[in-house]
Amino acid sequence: MAAMFSKNSTPTVSNDAETIIGKSVKIEGTFNGEGNIIVEGEVNGNLKTDKDLDVKEGSKITADIEAANMKIAGEINGNVKCHGNLDISGQGKIIGDIETKLISIATGAVLKGHCATNAHEAKPKESPKHD
Amino acid sequence: MFFYFYDTFINEKRFESDLIKTENRLIDLGINGRIEKLTILRNGKELIEEAIKNGAHTIVAVGDDNTLLKVINIVADHSVAIGFIPLRANSKLARILGIKDCLDACDILSKRLVKKINLGKANQNYFFASISIPQVEGIKVECDEKYKVSLKQKDNGLAVYNLGNFLDVANEDQWKVFSNKNYLNVYVLPPAPSGLSKYFKTNNPQDAISVFPAKKIKISAEGKTLSVILDQQTTLKTPVQVTIKPKKINLIVGRHRKI
């Protein structure tokens, strides 16, 4: 399955999500996904996927979350671990610590917690080649 | 040996012509075999199991979608191939398997392209395409023994898809057909439109859809029993334990199949 977010540009949402937690649904427990996840409803517990996570406006997550790339426009109470790009939109709210490779925060976003980025550590410079 | 399992309704006069053409075609192709007709006095399970015991390697359901679903449920625990000759023009399973009509079905049987297909299992019953639960008030859904799904609206629908929704939905444009993945898809569906909302689109129905992949699903209800319908054919009562059985049957399919 193709990644939900483009690697080189602002994340865009595609329709290839394997999991959609819709507005009329509440999830409680440990959700470990292998595909892309879209959250529009409520999640309590833990949420983890190897692929991308799109948290829509109006959604509420009370859980630690982990994903390859994330786009956050909802409310998160919990720690966030992102292995790629974390994009927090103006409606996004995160109360918890953030660990990510790259981050983009829009005006109006709310963050309460520590934030650590490690883009440079994750991308070591190649040593120059000697002929 | 081919074993042809004829459903009860094909004794009707209107199927006579198609049946004669089919039998002649099978003879021409050299794949004719033993024929047993289901009657109210003869148990289909016993007939098919006896045929397998006597060396049948291919069980062919001759009839309609219900005939094939019956055969699949009986044959699922045996390692023989399953074929299908549809005698009704509106067979959904024929379209899914890439079979145009009864004569095309004979050619497909002869070519014998066999595909291993996953089945779902709900308690002791197998299902081919889907489970639907029309009333969800008080329902409890637990997936993979790890998380619980609660529905906020009592008028939502719930479905579990193995191969798709084609048995539940009349309009072919709205069919969802899933490839043979090793998990089931749990769908929370929006309420069916009623009253004026049938005519005025107030919101996007996609907004209310939820989808969860799961291998093991427990469906129960608090203080009551709910109906769980398998392939629009068999009704069970909650609690129901649903699992996926990968590559459970060997199905003979056409080149233009959808699965």
CA distance B248 to B93: 17
Q: Which of B31, B43, B126 is nearest to B85 (CA)?
A: B31
For B56-68, write each residue's pLDDT tens digit.
999 999 999 999 9
Give, as one character, the DSSP assignment of residue B100. Answer: -
Do B210 and A45 make contact, defined as CB atoms within 8 angstroms? no
Residue of chain B whose alpha carbon sits nearest to that of A33: B213
User: pLDDT above 90 covers what percent of chain A?
Assistant: 73
Residue with tokens 């193995």: B162
For A78-130, write each residue's pLDDT tens digit.
999 999 999 999 999 999 999 999 999 999 999 999 999 986 654 544 555 55
Q: Is the pLDDT of residue A16 over 70?
A: no
Taking a C-beta distance cutoff of 8 angstroms, is the pair B116, B247 a contact?
Answer: yes
CA distance B36 to B48: 9
Give, as one character, the DSSP assignment of residue A23. Answer: T
CA distance A125 to chain B (A): 40
CA distance B228 to chain A (A): 20
Q: Which two tokens stand for residue A108?
A: 């109006």
Q: Is the pLDDT of residue B48 over 60?
A: yes
Give, as one character, the DSSP assignment of residue A124. Answer: P
Quick one: B1 exposed, middle or buried, by C-beta within 10 A (0-12, 13-18, 19+)?
exposed
Q: Does B146 reach chain A within 8 Å, measured CB to CB?
A: yes
Q: Which of A37, A89, A34, A90 is nearest to A63 (CA)?
A: A37
For B140-151, write each residue's pLDDT tens digit.
999 999 999 998
- Among A20, A27, A45, select the one facing B209 at the smallest CB separation: A20
Give the pLDDT confidence score for residue A5 in this predicted structure. 59
Residue A32 Cα to chain centre, angstroms: 14
Q: Which two tokens stand for residue B1?
A: 């040996």
- Among B147, B148, B188, select the one facing A24 at the smallest CB separation: B188
Instruction: Report the 10 Å Cβ neighbour count for A49.
Output: 21
Q: Is the pLDDT of residue A14 over 50?
A: no
Q: Which of A97, A7, A99 is nearest to A52 (CA)?
A: A7
For residue A31, the chain B residues in CB contact (below 8 A) are 146-147
For residue A25, the chain B residues in CB contact (below 8 A) are 149-152, 188, 210
Instruction: Report the 10 Å Cβ neighbour count for A41.
Output: 25
Q: ipTM, 2 decimals? A: 0.83
Q: Does B182 reach chain A within 8 Å, measured CB to CB?
A: no
Taking a C-beta distance cutoff of 8 angstroms, is the pair A34, A16 a contact?
Answer: no
Query: CA of A113: how far to CAs of A94, A95, B117, B159, in Å?
Result: 8, 6, 49, 40
Q: Is the pLDDT of residue B90 over 70?
A: yes
Q: Does A45 reach chain B within 8 Å, measured CB to CB?
A: yes
Do A31 and B146 make contact, defined as CB atoms within 8 angstroms? yes
Q: What are phi and psi of A40, to 5 degrees?
A: -120, -10
- pLDDT mean across residues, chain A: 84
Do B149 and A25 make contact, defined as CB atoms within 8 angstroms? yes
CA distance B209 to A52: 19
Residue of chain A whose alpha carbon sits nearest to that of B157: A24
CA distance B256 to B259: 9
pLDDT interval class at B156 (50, 70, 90): confident
